[in-house]
Structure 1
Amino acid sequence: MVDNFAAGKTAKSEQTRKRIIHTFLSLIDEKKWDKITVKELCARSEITRGTFYQYYSDIYELMEQIQASLLSDIQTRFAQIQSESRSGFPIEEFLEKFDYEPPQNLIVWFDFCKDNQDAIRALLDLQNGDIYFEKKLKHLLIDTINEMMDTDGLPHDELRNYFVKAFSELHFLAARIWLESDESDFLSVSEVVNLLNTMRVGAGYLTFKRNISPEFAQKIKELY
């Protein structure tokens, strides 16, 4: 009986915590996250201030715990990819060894956004979200994109930094549009993933052509 009581108390506590988080994320639709007060959060979620302070010392700790959970989630997912990733190859062997299928990091990113869509949509909100959280996510994305490019045999040349930055920005842009759009009005996850993968394939092929053909490399150089 004692065990059942403890389990019931834990379940109720978890429900209260989820209610606080859900209310906080919904309020970000209305105002900047650090302007939300404990008083209005409690009123909206129908709990007392005392109940809130059982879980969090203030709004900043609430945000910190939400972000820590999300960052831990995406780090775990990316770490799993890294442990299963293929070894790299010389870019000259592109035609024989390049894998044209979308890499797991693209799929994992959108799975992560889908599984945490309320939190990601709120925290990445351009007006009311947290720019520092976005920077932390971008840092993780850039790391995994670089690992993907290493696997694809792409060199660390002058174009790589530009591609990585652009590719990471497109991850966020695609996620924002996808999460804010009606499912019937936008591309499916697989279509978005394939669209981003087209850029990856193109980058690999152009690098391959530049390395095996001096004439092609010269033409590209003249264009830019």
Structure 2
Amino acid sequence: MEAKTDRRIKRTRYLLVHALTSLMLKKSIKDITVKELCESVDINRGTFYLHYKDIYDMLEQTEQELLEQFEQVFKNYHPDHTPDFPYPLFVEIFQIIDQNSNLCCALLSPNGDISFSVKIKKLFEHQYIHEWMVAHHSADFLPTYEYFSNFLVSGCSGLIESWLAHGKKETPEEMARLISKLISTGMTSVYPIPCGQPDDL
């Protein structure tokens, strides 16, 4: 009986999130009402309030669940203990985005929540770039760390948004390969320049 109840709860939340996603692709979150959301999936408002306080609470919980998926992936891989790092990490990241592409498009759209993009960037900066720098004893010694971090985070975010906007023509594996190559090229800037080479290129 408990398993059946859990399945019912998951299905209800899935339907509500799917409906919210569809509406956010058309209008701003501030213009979406609980009544409109429930009517779109034939669920009464009482059922909605069993799960969420209001539309903004639903949005926050939905974002948090997605962010937790990303965070778990970052925790599963360590720069020094993962062959071909960061490729395997980004395969999983792009797979999650692929599985939640409509939701990601809605959250990152002009109608979405600008704070979600900020949360993604902070998570990436802390869980990936900072940890990589600490592992290589570079974070405390690189004067331009903040610039470097912002450059990589913004570049990765832009690449993800572009991939979604163009209909995900490449596979998650292809995107992971591309972003790994771009990041690895950028990472070489933290290493000391060999003697005799100009540092003002």
Task: Map 1:23-62 to 2 at 5 A.
Answer: 23-62=19-58
Q: How many residues end up aligned between the 2 structures?
A: 198
Partner of residue 102 from structure 2, selected from 118, 127, 148: 118
Structure 1 position 51, deviation (Å): 2.1
2:199 — aligned with what?
A: 220
Q: 1:172 to 1:203 in 2, by over 3 A?
A: closer
**CA 107–119 in structure 1, closer or farther in 2 if over 3 Å, else same:** same
Structure-2 change in CA distance of 1:26 and 1:147 (3 Å): same
Question: Shift in Å at residue 23 of structure 1?
Answer: 0.2
Q: Counterpart of 1:70?
A: 66
Deviates more, 1:72-81 or 1:133-142: 72-81
Letter in 2 for 1:199: L
Output the aligned Cα RMSD.
Answer: 2.5
Aligned partner (choices 155, 164, 174) of residue 179 of structure 1: 164
Amino acid at match of 1:43: E
The percentage of counterpart residues that share the same residue type is 27
Alignment partners' CA distance in 2, 1:187 and 1:10: 35
SS at the partner of 1:176? helix
Change in Cα spacing, 1:141 to 1:205, as seen in structure 2 (3 Å) is closer
Residues 79 and 120 (structure 1), Cα distance of their counterparts in 2 relative to 1, 3 Å cut: same
| Counterpart-to-counterpart distance in 1, 2:122 and 2:43 | 37
Amino acid at match of 2:65: S
Q: 1:52 to 1:102 in 2, by over 3 A?
A: closer
1:168 and 2:147 correspond: no
Contact kept, 8 Å, 2:87 with 2:176, in 1: the verdict is: no
Asked whether the 8 Å contact 1:28–1:128 carries over to 2, the reply is yes
> Are residues 202 and 43 of structure 1, via their aligned partners in 2, closer, same or farther at CA, if it must alter by over 3 Å?
same
Query: 1:78, 1:108 within 8 Å by CA — same for their partners in 2?
Result: no
Q: Which residue of 2 aligns with 1:200?
A: 183
Tell whether 2:173 aligns with 1:190: yes
Change in Cα spacing, 1:179 to 1:191, as seen in structure 2 (3 Å) is same
Measure how far apart 1:209 and its partner are.
5.9
Once the two structures are superposed, what CA deviation does each residue of 1:157-213 show, in whole Å capped at 9, x if it has no partner? 234322221211122112112223234xx3333332232223333234454461x21
Please say if residues 71 and 123 of structure 2, whose CA atoms lie closer than 8 Å, have aligned partners that are also in contact.
Answer: yes
For residues 37-56 of structure 1, give each alpha carbon's deviation from its aligned partner in whole angstroms, at most 9, with x where no partner exists: 11111121122222222221
Would you say the 8 A contact 1:124–1:130 is kept in 2?
A: yes
Change (3 A) 1:145 1:104: farther
Partner residue, 1:14: 10
CA distance 1:206–1:10, change in 2 (3 Å):
closer
| Rg larger in structure | 1
Bigger helix share = 1
Structure 1: gaps of 5 or more residues:
88-98
**Alignment match of 1:86 (pick from 49, 69, 80):** 80
Contact 1:42 1:52 in 2 (8 A): yes
Q: Secondary structure at the match of 2:199?
A: helix
Q: Which amino acid aligns with 2:116?
A: F
Offset from partner CA, 1:5-27 (integer Å, 9 cap, x none): x4333322321221111101110
